[in-house]
Amino acid sequence: MRLATPILLVLLTGCGAASTPATTGAPPAARGGTATPTRAVENGEVQGFATWYGETHHGRQTASGEPFDMYALTAAHKTLPFNTLVRVVDRESLKTVIVRVNDRGPYRKGRIIDLSYAAAQDLDIVRKGKVKVDLEIVEWGDNRRVHAKYKGRYGR
C-alpha cells in the first residue's frame, strides 16, 4: 500500500493536463520555450505581410547562431521558436513553401515574416518584394541555437 500511493499520485497528476493545439508538436509554452506566440499562431495560423532578404545578409550570423544562407528555405519570425516549420501561402497566387525559422524579425510594422531569397523564389515574390500571406504551423520547433563562433561576414 505504501508503494501504491506515490504511483497513484503520479497517475492522477497526469489526468488534468491541458490539451495542445491541433498542430504537430506542442506549443512553445508547453515545452518550456521562451517564445510567446500570439493566440492566432497557437491555433496554427496567422495572416499578414511577408518580405524577403538575401545577398546583403548572406553568410552573416542569424539569431539562432547559424550563418544565413539565402539559398536555404528559412525565415525570420519575431516569436516562433527556432526550427519551427511554417507553411507560407501567398494569398493571391496560392503558391506555398515550407520554411524553417532560424532568425528573428521582421522589425517593420505590418510584416509577420521575412523569407530567404530561395523561399521568395519558390513563392515567385522576388520582384513584388512584399505580399499578403497566411502562415500555418507545420511543426513546432525546439528553440535550439547553434553554438558556433561567428567569424564575421568574410570568414575572418
13-60 tens-digit pLDDT: 344 433 333 333 444 443 333 444 444 455 556 899 999 998 899 999
Which residues are paired to 90 by β-bridges?
133
- For the whole model, what pTM was predicted? 0.68
Count other C-beta atoms under 10 Å from residue 18's C-beta. 5
The residue count for the chain: 156
Task: Work out the pLDDT band at 144, boundaries 50, 70, 90.
Answer: confident
Distance in angstroms (rounded) separating the CA atoms of residues 90 and 121:
12
Q: Which residue has the higher pLDDT, 123 or 4?
A: 123
* Domains assigned to the chain: 41-139 (2.40.40.10)
